[in-house]
A and B are shown apart, each in its own frame.
Chain A
Amino acid sequence: MVDLVWFQLLSAVLFVIGLYGVMARRSAVLIIMSIELMLNAVNINLIAAASHMEGIGKFSDFDGQLIAIFIITVAAAEVGLALAIILRMFRNKSTVNVDEINLMKW
């Protein structure tokens, strides 16, 4: 089996790419994609951890997978909501560029 560290490294790299995407992207859709990337990076981490565990303490073998499924579900719901908001945004302002959506400031 491949060592856990490589999976975690992959997860970290994917996470950072996702974080960069969220912070630097202008398009709302791309920001959502980046958020998905972050979430899936975390999923990889969790599943890898689960597959390398041997029932340490309170944790059993498949706890990580459990959490990963939770995350997939929540991510799906959240993306649905986010895309709805983006649709609305687009209908109002004809753009998905987040730089131009700045009315809710002081």
Chain B
Amino acid sequence: MPVSGARMMEWAWLIPVFSFAAAPAVVIFGRFLPGKGSWISILAIAGGFLMFWLVLGSWMGAEAVGNCFTSENTQMLTCDYERSWFNAGVVGAVGSVSLNWGILIDPLTIAMLGLVTFVALMVQVYSLAYMKGDPRFGWYFAIHSLFAASMLTLVLADNFLLLYVAWELVGICSYLLIGFWHERRSAREAAKKAFIVTRIGDVGLLIGILLIWRDVGSFSMLDAFEAARTGAMSEGVVTASAILLFLGAMGKSAQVPFHVWLPDAMEGPTPVSALIHAATMVVAGVYLVARTFPLFEAYDADPLMVVAIVGLVTALGAATVALVATDLKRILAYSTISHLGLMMLSLGAFGYTAAIFHMMAHGFSKALLFLGAGSVLHSTEFQETGEMGGLRKVMPLTAIVFSIGALSLGGIPILAGFWSKDEILIAVNDHRNVTFIVLTLFTALLSALYMARAMFLVFFGQLKDQNSHVHDAPAAMAFPMVLLGVLALGFGLISFNWPGSYGGIGTFVFFEHSEKFHFEIWLGAVSIVLAIGAFVFAHRVYVEKSISLEGVRKRNSGILKVIENKYYFDEAYQWVIDRVVFVFSRFIAFFDRAIVNDIIVNGPADVTRKFGIALRVHVTGHVYSYTLAMAAGSVGLGLFVWLRVV
């Protein structure tokens, strides 16, 4: 192909466009095609995945000429392509603004493109078998395509407006997919909750974007970063907008206190959970913070501390809940929240590379875990871990891949999750004070514990009679799981220094300084010990049943109750909604009806009416009263004239 390496990147916008085109195609033509048009959608995302490789190759061969340059802010090679969309205000007039379509390609983008296209492809293939027979099969794939397209646009966007557009679109796709089985009330409620909670965060996002625009004069991200770096934006504005952007990120990435939508989002089909709520949509917030990192660390005021604290609280809190939850998908949901917290924590500790690396490793591993859970649900139709046990005897493939995922996220060495978690630990240790590293290590321990617990409760131990008929996953479901399993096993390898110019992922995705791979012995050793110890302990408790937790449960029953009830967040929110929001709303509606309308508007009308009633009394219908009035009137008039004349 006579297209030079650098030119291929220009066409990166095709990646979302394939899926954008697939969505209406599936809706309109799907019913006439075999498989309800699902393969249109899969082809589109596969095409996107293919283009990702082309873009990667193109970027690697690119030099800093033309649209590409070494960004002053991130020191990575960055390429930017723009096209005009519409103008607000006549072009060139004072105060007018040009809104553009634009894509930005740098290693962060490429990493995200790879993650999103691959996991989306895997999940769509998996869904072929999982959603088979569903009456709205075609719609499912159409929305999946729309979602993939929006998410890809989000990571490619080079200006805040396009990012916001994609952000909202991703939100609505999530609403449609969570509420896919909308016959169930719980699904509708969960979808609504997800959209509204994230919308609240989006208020912060929009205000942050507008705040930046006000000072910079354009929506372009590169312009904003330049302004922050050169001091054109004041410290106050930069810090405020960073925090506001983070609010949006908190919503999408389920940080405390916006995390409440994610566990409920498990109402959606499991592949949806795998894609959206493990690997892609929820990391949009992490991506946003990473992308706008120059804003966060422009001045000395430390918005990243806020990010770190929120991340740590989320990580720790969610881990505790995951430890006591009994619904398999809920365990995975809280685990996701916890890991998202870890990613934010890493960003907050200047661990840029670590956060991105963990995002990818977690994405593959968590998607794998969800797909495995889906496989279990598909066969057993239970979600409570109490109904499971010993399933490895009847579904060996699922058991193996699930265990790989669990071990990876638990932080067992060799697997991808270990390396990424290790990088995070290094970052936290290097840049934040002691409390952080201690609590992070504790969180790591808890995450190993709950992952081990989930794994052992479901797949190991005694097989219940009710589950003896259970079968393993069909091919369409098994294939993606295996691929993801391979990645969960081997992805860690990219963090190493390899011979040649590749010095580990730290030299690919980085912020300001490329870092070759290094390994802190003591930290690594501690985390290995904690992880392995946790797995062994869990094995003893749940499989061998040689250690009993009854005593611990009894002594801490109060705290346990609080944790089991997820710290009562949902109850608190529901109280606020019922007692505050709706009461206020009813008051306003009442005010409008009773006071503004009935009193102020109808009031004068009533007064006029009553006045009229009072006046009409003089129409008596009797002739003599009329003649009396006439006589009196004329006499009066005559007198008046006579007196005036005289």
Contacts and interface: CB of A to CB of B under 8 A. Distances in A.
B501 interface: no
A105 B623 CA distance: 11
Contacts of B619: 104-106
Interface stretch (B62-70, B441-449, B624-632): B624-632
State the main secondary structure of chain B at its contact with A.
helix
B627 A106 contact: no
Interface in B620-643: 620-624, 627-628, 631
Contact of A24 (B617, B620, B624): B624
Interface residues of A, number: 14
B83 interface: no
B399 to A, nearest CB: 92
Contacts of A22: 627, 631
Given A23-B628, A23-B631, A106-B616, A98 B623 contact: yes
A30 to B, nearest CB: 12
Interface string A82-106: 0000000000000000110111111
Contacts of A67: none
B622 A102 contact: yes
A24 B616 CA distance: 24
A31 interface: yes
Contacts of B621: 101-105
B631 A99 contact: no
Nearest to A20: B631
B631 A31 contact: no
What range describes how many residues of B lie at the interface?
10 to 19
A106 B620 CA distance: 7
Nearest to A104: B621
A105 B621 CA distance: 4
B609 to A, nearest CB: 13
Given A106-B616, A106-B617, A23 B622 contact: no
A75 interface: no
A19 interface: yes
Contacts of A31: 623
B620 A102 contact: yes
B622 A98 contact: yes
A24 B623 CA distance: 10
Which of A28, A99, A105 lies at the interface centre, i.e. has the most chain B CB atoms within 10 A of its CB? A105
B611 to A, nearest CB: 14
B622 A99 contact: yes
Contacts of A105: 619-622
A4 to B, nearest CB: 18
Interface in A7-21: 19
A106 B616 CA distance: 6
A101 B619 CA distance: 13
Given A106-B616, A106-B617, A101 B623 contact: yes
B593 to A, nearest CB: 32
Nearest to B617: A106
Interface string B85-122: 00000000000000000000000000000000000000
B628 to A, nearest CB: 6
Contacts of A101: 621, 623
A29 to B, nearest CB: 13
Interface in A30-53: 31
Contacts of B620: 102, 105
8 contacts: A22-B631, A24-B624, A31-B623, A98-B623, A98-B624, A105-B621, A105-B622, A106-B617
Pairs of residues from A and B, 8 with the lowest C-beta to C-beta distance, nearest first: A105-B621, A102-B621, A106-B616, A98-B623, A106-B619, A22-B627, A104-B621, A105-B619
Given A23-B628, A103-B621, A105-B621, 14 more contacts: A19-B631, A23-B627, A23-B631, A24-B624, A98-B622, A99-B622, A99-B624, A101-B623, A102-B620, A104-B621, A105-B619, A105-B622, A106-B616, A106-B619
